[in-house]
Structure 1
Amino acid sequence: METVANHYSDIEYSSDEELEDNSWMSILENEEKDYKSFYKENIDIIKIFFTYVDSNNNIYYVKKDNLLIDNNTIKKDQLIYLLKKNKNYNNKQHRLISILQYNFDLEPEEVLNYLKYKEKYNFLTIVSKINNILWNDTISLFKNLNSLHIIYYEEPIKKSSNTKKVYIRNRKLKRKKHTRKRT
């Protein structure tokens, strides 16, 4: 029986020794470093592109800006402020045509499939209403691809009114009686 008890005490000692040895954790952490860029993360910053189109349907200016966001969301008030602030460019009024959201929310398991068949994936969506805009978590390697595209169209210059002024007169005053001479 003593040999069995000694054997168990050796096992307990080796398991205590293993618990104190943290080398397995550092090995695991080193292996995980390679895959860390493929984990999904919250989005804290996005790129905003303001695109200005002239009356001939040509893009004549693109302005790029970065925006810090909270909880993967652009609030409605913040969006309205951005839209109004960037409505004018080059002393010209522009009107909003479209808001496009590019959210690269690919799952880590789908990365290889995406590389083979890119045309099957579409990350661009049209924002139809001015409300809060939510971004899904993104693989950290692709976080810098998330963006918001705001497209403005140049408003035509309003021509001055060329309506002919109409004078209203009393017809009775204007009429003169003409008598014809009979011969």
Structure 2
Amino acid sequence: MQGLFWRALLNMADLTFKDVKGVPAPNGVRGVDDYMGGKVDAGMFSITSGKMRQAYASRGFKYVSLPDDPASVKKMQAIAPGSVVEKIGPSPAYAGVTGPTNIMAAPFIITANAKVSDDIVYKLVKAMAANKKMMVAAFKGMAGFNPKKMYVDIGVPYHPGAMKYYRETGQAK
């Protein structure tokens, strides 16, 4: 996913991978390790993660605030459907955020085999919507989860069981 998100962010500035010098990493954690070790100048990782706290304590960093004008957002979404530019501010959850900052946000995606019954998927989605507090207690990264905005058109079909819930709650047509 990081390659996709990098392409989307570069596209906002009319850039491609040809315009930057990439340093391959097998995963996001390794990419942050490479940043902390001085091997790379920039990176991307989950803003609420413990790894970002380590990086901030180790070497410090500054978030690049993204443009949020409609044309720039459209360029980002052309590469990463469902992504949005979200304004955040200083918070104990965000190491390194010192003022209003526009970041890229993308939906968590849960996949299910098409053979999983509609009823099971419906119950799962409904249970998630009803239990935000429990999910946040298990993983603080779910604090931004909004049960009223679970459906996001990302250009791929949703499981019929999930769509049943989204239609019932007015999130999808």
The structure with the larger Rg is: 1
> Would you tell me which structure has more strand in proportion to its own residues?
1
Greater RCO between the two (CA within 8 Å, min separation 6)?
Answer: 1
What TM-score does the superposition give when structure 2 sets the normalisation length? 0.20
What TM-score does the superposition give when structure 1 sets the normalisation length? 0.19
